[in-house]
Structure 1
């Protein structure tokens, strides 16, 4: 790397690594490794390997992850725009693997932007259960929401909240929690020279204070018997082993589960040897730290957790006089969709009244007509309206009251002049067989690129896949090599492009 490592950082690493330091320092002369992770919500690992022209080498700690060759440009291929894989640094794939997410789990990704680990969690959920994904910074939630939409996540909710507000709203609720904590980023020095420039000797202590607060909040949101994975991309022990040791001493209901694995994981330091580290001089990846924490209480059913949640929420409302946890003020729903897809509390009561009666019923009727014609089946979930925009949420709207919801669920579209207009995220989450009309474009043809650029296509009727009883004219799910990419509208051999401008191939 071109940037000079800070002398105080190098001195600390010498003390930490001893005789391994020279090998560690030499690793900074190497080119960082690139990687992709297969999106199994859309395609299996085996089918992607057979379909892709990329040279893929398996990543030891992630069964869906692969190294890409130096100079590869996986983002410049139609398969990327169809959401078949996520471009991700190889070491960053490890924390979710340690979380051991199972279909049906309730999962919280607390510091989630830009969304790589959230898409990985979603793939493991296989469309079942719930993912609440969050980031504290409003600007970063835009990329987070877009990535979940691109990769076809139907059961995810995107929040822009502080960890303590989420913990107060969901006490003892989640089976699994991931904290990919904000950190000093020392493990990314080789990959991102800006991280080097922003670092000084006081940076680890600054982040450690943040990390303590995040962990304490997460502890109250995890259900008894649940699992919490804490990870950073830094080497500093005060952000890693010391943080975990302090947390365990304050929370005796948690214990560290020793990380096993493939032989790639090195043990943590001192008494926290059960934690894990990825070192850039020992693996093909950047620096990472991971700790798996288990709540030692007996596992309880979702129904029992919901009952405990009601009791704890009542206590919170009585003790939190200022309502800072947003429980007390929970009767102010996020009601209006802004230009950037955010919702504000402004005029919530008026918006709520406007959704009552015939207005909402007509909108739902228009939506019902669309799915009858286009899908032939009804997506499961709770319909939530923000103005004319409709989401299908894995949670009823009351569960999100008082929280800043960027995306309260799967965005399926909006109603205009009494007609339902399907949204792009609806298309990207569908499989070709789930749509009554579809057409597949080859990734090796100019047609696929033209579609991704927003151009109109000439498509003969013979190329359309149409279910029996469905007319040819109407919305068509446009696929690339059989995998959904967006909408088009077909009539008389012309496919009008519905691919949104902000997503187009540049």
Structure 2
């Protein structure tokens, strides 16, 4: 057996699984399954299937997910760098599907890094509503923010906060909350051998303390009628069925929404909970679900859908929300500057926002510079509200006052910087555009070396007739660089050369 499993884990699973134990253990002798999930913010599933460079097989529980052959290395293709798909373990695609997200929802991904599930949520929102995505570990929010940007998300706010602080700022605001809880990671032993070696130190007992606290706080974040999906990638009933049983005991307004008929899911196992007499609603736990590695093509996962059927509350944060369509870039000029600059512990070296600008003149100048750029270079109205942190300009889906006092990594879509009254577009602005959103664009062929050379930051020779222009526009200015038609970054054409604007920190580093 390739994976060295902890003896205590093996003995527990032998006791719980009985006649299924041999099949469960045999799964560890097989290779892990590789999956990709199509990013429908950029491309439809049908179109991706048509152009896919990989052999694809559908993943039953995720309509945008596909198995790819083991060893196919989907990270080494220009389409990955264009944000057309996310590489994700197949079982990990299931929890977001259970949330039932609709465009316009207000969604919180509470334990989000590195961001795979957040990008899946964003694709379902299709640019409407709001996604607040958070991780308590500052270092991990770097990958979270980058994935939000790579995959073209326009309506997300990225935080680095504790759950209780978010609950203070957003009481009963979200109608969908995802808790992909920190856990002992038993379901990842086959995929990551380090998880097995760290199992005893990252114990079930330590994880249940965190999980209990996160669930308790999540109930304060949820709007009446809203849904929490709680998931783990572990097999321990203490972190799964028993955790949900405890939550139901202390939150009588909640019920389990049964996962009956969901592809791949086996019923929860309430009989595995000791001292069952403590939990009067224990029969509900059969409506939770498990993905077993010996029954499906994927790793282990547990999920529970919890709906709050409580009464309306007196105050919700939604009363302070700015609808995403209320104001656009340029409409804000001269209307801001009401609030004082608030203290944001936002890791200046990590994200560069620093403090939010509080002077009316600063934000008015930024809004005017952005509006001038958009008028001359873009063919769309930017959604949201212009917010300035230092010299960085964002379009936020929220009233920025809602973020006062929080550790903000990204208050919205990072669209560029303003220096000396001049606006320079950001790379995340480009990655969230479509080919027809820009006044000028250049198409690169993903099957030719030019695409990889661009992604490596090289200057390219390019004929003038490859610069596609809106009628009346000149070749001078920023051009949206697209790989096979999908936005990947900025460039500038001049005298037969494409000046590369692809940022150093994003470049293709593989040979």
Task: Give the structure-1-normalised TM-score.
Answer: 0.91
Counterparts of 1:347-426 in structure 2 under 5 Å? 352=358, 355-357=359-361, 359-426=362-429
Task: Write out per-residue CA displacement over residues 203-240 of structure 1, whole angstroms, 9 at most, x where no aligned residue.
Answer: 11110000000001110000000010000000000000
Task: Write out per-residue CA displacement over residues 431-481 of structure 1, whole angstroms, 9 at most, x where no aligned residue.
Answer: 001111111111101110110000011222211111112221110000001
d(CA) in 2 for partners of 1:297 and 1:309? 22
Distance 1:184 1:435, change over 3 A: same
Task: Write out per-residue CA displacement over residues 57-81 of structure 1, whole angstroms, 9 at most, x where no aligned residue.
Answer: 0000000000010110100000000
User: Alignment partner for residue 504 of structure 2, among 493, 496, 501?
Assistant: 501
Task: Write out per-residue CA displacement over residues 91-115 of structure 1, whole angstroms, 9 at most, x where no aligned residue.
Answer: 0000000011100000000000000
3-state DSSP of counterpart to 1:430:
coil
User: Alignment partner for residue 341 of structure 1, among 351, 366, 375?
Assistant: 351
Tell me what 2:476 maps to.
Answer: 473
Counterparts of 1:424-435 in structure 2 under 5 Å? 424-435=427-438
Tell me what 1:451 maps to.
Answer: 454
3-state DSSP of counterpart to 2:132:
strand
Tell me what 1:108 maps to.
Answer: 108
Pairwise CA distance, 1:339: 3.3
d(CA) in 2 for partners of 1:207 and 1:95? 19
Tell me what 2:14 maps to.
Answer: 14
Distance 1:54 1:45, change over 3 A: same
Pairwise CA distance, 1:417: 2.9
Tell me what 1:268 maps to.
Answer: 268
Tell me what 2:290 maps to.
Answer: 277
Counterparts of 1:54-203 in structure 2 under 5 Å? 54-200=54-200, 203=203
3-state DSSP of counterpart to 1:339:
helix
Distance 1:15 1:342, change over 3 A: farther
Query: How many pairs align?
Result: 479
Work out whether residues 337 and 387 of structure 1, in 8 Å CA contact, stay in contact via their aligned partners in 2: no
Tell me what 1:211 maps to.
Answer: 211
Runs (5+) with no aligned partner, structure 2: 271-282, 322-339
Q: Single out whichever of 69-78 and 2-11 deviates more from structure 2.
A: 2-11
Work out whether residues 60 and 262 of structure 1, in 8 Å CA contact, stay in contact via their aligned partners in 2: no
Distance 1:265 1:379, change over 3 A: same
Pairwise CA distance, 1:380: 1.5
3-state DSSP of counterpart to 1:237:
coil
Pairwise CA distance, 1:307: 7.1
Pairwise CA distance, 1:493: 2.2
d(CA) in 1 for partners of 2:18 and 2:479? 62
d(CA) in 2 for partners of 1:342 and 1:287? 38
Q: Single out whichever of 336-345 and 181-190 deviates more from structure 2.
A: 336-345
Task: Write out per-residue CA displacement over residues 286-322 of structure 1, whole angstroms, 9 at most, x where no aligned residue.
Answer: 000000000113689xx98447789xxxxxxxxxxxx
Distance 1:44 1:308, change over 3 A: closer
d(CA) in 1 for partners of 2:303 and 2:360? 48
Aligned-CA RMSD value: 2.0
Distance 1:194 1:127, change over 3 A: same
Pairwise CA distance, 1:336: 7.6
Q: Single out whichever of 101-110 and 394-403 deviates more from structure 2.
A: 394-403
Runs (5+) with no aligned partner, structure 1: 311-329
Tell me what 1:288 maps to.
Answer: 301
